[in-house]
Amino acid sequence: MPANSDETAPRPAPAPDVALDITGEICPMTFVRTRILLDRSPPGALLRIRLRGREPLANVPRSARELGHTVVSLEPEAPGASAETDPWILTLRKTG
């Protein structure tokens, strides 16, 4: 029996409930702004954070996990992106 094409096709990322661009911020403001958005969002909300730089790429997901939120994905905005200079997309799910 042939496989259903829906089973093998890549699934599109779910649409975020809210989005935040912190590419112009530096630590610690990158997580401060993310934390404010998390605090204002309802449980289960999907947040899309656009960030840039090694420190935010390491610190923002780690800090969100430490608060109990789920890191759904962390991916470069474009293929071949550099952690130093190019934007990345962090998707978080706010927990209870």
Q: Which residues are catalytic?
A: 27
- Domain extents for the chain? 14-87
CATH number of 14-87: 3.30.110
pLDDT given at position 7: 56
For the stretch 22-57, pLDDT in tens is: 999 998 999 999 999 999 999 999 999 999 999 999
Grade residue 96 by pLDDT with cuts at 50, 70 and 90.
confident
Q: How far is CA 75 from the centre of its chain?
A: 8
Instruction: Note whether 56 and 27 are within 8 A (CB).
Output: yes
Write the DSSP assignment of 49-92 as a string of letters. EEE-SHHHHHHHHHHHHHTT-EEEEEEESSTT--TTTS-EEEEE
- What's the CA gap between 27 and 16, in Å, rounded? 24
